[in-house]
Structure formats: structure tokens, C-alpha cells
Structure 1
């Protein structure tokens, strides 16, 4: 009669080979790839989103506190929020001649990053917010440029809406 022979075919990988391969790929992904890829683009997106959040937060404070004036001062290595007492009966011309209430800690930029005005490339500027959330910067559209290895833009519309471009 017919004889059947059992032939073992070895195809595929063993569990040990798979685990070892996954570990090697994981180690490469964690330690080697970050050194090969530039980190600057991540820094630029982080700084842009942080500054947009700060502008929006100051606008909300200005909308909710009509007796206060809020100023964001930007310099080449960071930015700072200052709060002033504002006379509501007079027209808003900025925080000029207002009484200082509070100065927050300066938020510093890391890794040579900076923010500049799109109109004149100035890295030192101040902007005040009125009780309608508008700024004295008189800017509409692309207002700020964030530079941290990569260049990103921040827009501020005439009525105060701040967003990424």
C-alpha cells in the first residue's frame, strides 16, 4: 500500500526571532531616529500654538474685564503679559497712562526661536487689547512670523480672531 511520509516544512519566523526583531526596531525608533530628524519643526509648531493660545487667553481676559488693559510685550528671547487698570470712560488708546496692576513671568523662547512682526520683521513689539478683544497693533491677516528652524505664520483678523496660517 501507500506509505505516507510526514515532511515538516519550516516556514516563517520563530517567536524568539520576531521578539528580537521588534526589540531592535523599537530601539532604533527611540534612540536613533530622533537624532537623524530635525527637532526644529516641532519647536516651531509648539511655539506657534503656544503664542496663539496666549493671544486668545488675553483676548478673553480683555473681553471679561472692561476696566483693565492687557499688554503682551514680545522681545527677541520671549514674551510677557502685563495687566493695567484702565479708565473705562475714556476712549481706548492702549495701556498708555494706565496704572500697573500685575506683570506675569516672562515666557522665554528656546533653541534660538523667536517671533517677529510680519509687516516690518521687528522682534521687539507690544500690543494692547481693548474690551472688544481687538489689538492696537492695527494688523489684519498675516501678522506674526514664528521662526524656529521652520517658518510659520499667525494671522489676526481685524475683529480679533487669531489663527494659524
Structure 2
């Protein structure tokens, strides 16, 4: 009697290999760049957050004519303070609290830069009409992260994204 010995070979089929290579290439193109770099949305997120913050402080200044509110920006973050008096569009007097109302730190090397002076250290005071102490109309603040986006302030006090 003849015996045929058929050895079974273990391995993958061509379809399985091609499918695996396609999945790995999709992951390499789409997912891996997002894991190793900051998202390009960080500038947009910071811009939207800071515009919301400025509008909130502007509303506080409009509603509290006896107090002054200031947003102080530094290279590492910003803080909001409240002062006892105002002199036109500039906060004066003493701070009502030795500590700011709140402080927010920038993440991942992001920063805000005032366009007119190219400085990352500046402050914004709001007068009773809602306009700021900034001497600009239009593009006033650069938000720098992976991308650079602008914050515009109109002479009437309207704060908006570019």
C-alpha cells in the first residue's frame, strides 16, 4: 500500500497578508502623525478659549461700572484681576483681592502675542462701554501654537476670530 505523506504548511494566505499591509499603512498615514505631534487644533482651541475669556471679562466690566477688570497676559498664561476703581479705560486703584480672580496656563508652548508691539506680555482693560485699552482696530493678537491665528478687536469693542 502506498502512503502519501501530505505535510501541512502553516502560514498566511496572500489575501490575509495584503489586508494586513493595507491596514498598517492606513494607521501609519492617519494615526501615527497625530500621536507624535501636537494637534493643529491647539491654536484654534486657545484662540476660542481666549475670545470667550475676553468676552466674559468685557461683560463683567459692562455690568459693574464701579469696578475695573483687567486681563494680564504673559508668556506662560493669563490671569484676570479686579480693581476697585477705573480711570477712563485704564484700571487704577488697588486690586480688590491680592490674588487674581483666576489664572490659566498655556499648554504645549502656545502663546499670545500683541501685534502692535510683538510682545507676549501685555494687559487689556475694559471701560464701561466695553471697549479695550488696546490701541488697535482689527488684527490685534496673534495666537501662536502649531499654527498662527488671529484675534481681532474692533474699535467699538467687538472681539472676534479672523
Common fold: TM-score over 0.5: yes
1:40 and 1:150 in contact (8 A); partners too:
no
**Residues 111 and 53 of structure 1: CA distance in aligned 2, closer, same or farther (over 3 Å):** same
TM-score, normalising length: structure 2 = 0.76
Unaligned 5+ runs, structure 2: 1-18
- Which of 114, 119, 122 is matched with 1:117 structurally? 114
**In the aligned structure 2, how far is the partner of 1:86 from the partner of 1:120?**
27
Matched residue, 1:126: 123
Matched residue, 2:43: 44
Quote the RMSD (CA, aligned, Å).
2.2
Shift of 1:121: 1.1
Unaligned 5+ runs, structure 1: 1-20
Superposition pairs of residues 51-90 of structure 1, within 5 angstroms: 51-86=50-85
2:43 and 2:143 in contact (8 A); partners too:
yes
Are residue 153 (structure 1) and residue 150 (structure 2) matched? yes
Runs of 4+ in 1 over 4 A off after TM superposition: none
Superposition pairs of residues 99-110 of structure 1, within 5 angstroms: 99-102=94-97, 103-110=100-107
**In the aligned structure 1, how far is the partner of 2:81 from the partner of 2:56?**
13
